[in-house]
A and B are shown apart, each in its own frame.
Chain A
Amino acid sequence: MAHKIDMAEAILAINPKAEVSIFEENYDTIQWFPGTSVISKADIEAKQAELQTAYDNKKYQRDRAAEYPPVVDQLDDIYHNGIDAWKATIKTTKDKYPKG
């Protein structure tokens, strides 16, 4: 399931201290609390696109993380079968989800 980067995430990426509220992902509803400078709609949308690309490009990492055996099982694998056998097990997942 793909996460869609929203306006709030983009605003925080531009200004980590920003305090805003938004309804229905509509720029016109944004409430900019005192001390938070207004950011243009174009800048927010550009940052959303940038963050979305970065997120999508790391899908292989999330897929791998979800499929690797638990660390305890990996340690047990190393203890009983050695490093090469463990590397072979891990490689199966890496090959299944190659870097994009």
Chain B
Amino acid sequence: MALFVGGTEKTFGKVLQVISDTKASTGSSTALASGGNFTDLMSANITLATTSSKVMITCMVNTGASNASDATCLLRCLRDSTQIAGGTASGNRISTTSGKGTDNQGGHTQLMKTVHWIDSPSSTSQITYKVQFAKRGGGGGTAYVGQSYDDSNDTEEQRTPCCLTLTEIGA
């Protein structure tokens, strides 16, 4: 397939490799995102074919919270030890990949959070991408992944997976 823009043919990138990490386990955190106390949730290693390759990061996490105000689950992405896919921190406002959501609309709810991000690491050394989680707010409560807060033994509750996929796109 060819795509012409203004009479000029545009070329497409090629998928060179796909790597993923999935988790079907449940997790919880009382640690504060504002203190930088994130917990590793998923990680995947990739070694790019060329320095000009890009990495498409795709991620899905289902989160719950014990409280509708505090304790909602925040996500952060890292390339090795460098934060990526974050907003610009400003004053006391911290940089994260996802913000406060409606994780808790009552104790039985979860919120699916997705990430799509293009990274240009300019490296052919092995890189580790990570997705981390922590809770929002200075009050009490707990953030959850893969489950709701109530998580009672009932068919109205769900256990949910999370996944991280890295796709190398060549020029």
Contact = CB atoms under 8 A, between A and B. Distances in A.
Given A8-B28, A11-B30, A22-B27, A33 B151 contact: no
Interface string B40-77: 00000000000000000000000000100000000000
The prevalent SS among residues of B at the interface is loop
Contacts of B152: 1-4
B30 A12 contact: yes
A61 interface: no
B164 interface: no
A9 B26 contact: no
Nearest to A3: B150
B35 A19 contact: yes
Contact of A22 (B28, B108, B140): B28
A4 B151 contact: yes
Contacts of A7: 28
Interface string B19-30: 000000111111
Contacts of A6: 28, 142, 151
A31 B30 contact: no
Nearest to A15: B30
A8 to B, nearest CB: 4
B32 interface: yes
Nearest to A18: B30
A4 B150 CA distance: 7
Interface of B: 25-32, 35, 37, 39, 66, 107-108, 133, 140-142, 149-154, 156-157
Given A1-B152, A21-B30, 9 more contacts: A8-B66, A12-B141, A19-B35, A21-B29, A21-B133, A22-B27, A22-B28, A23-B27, A33-B31
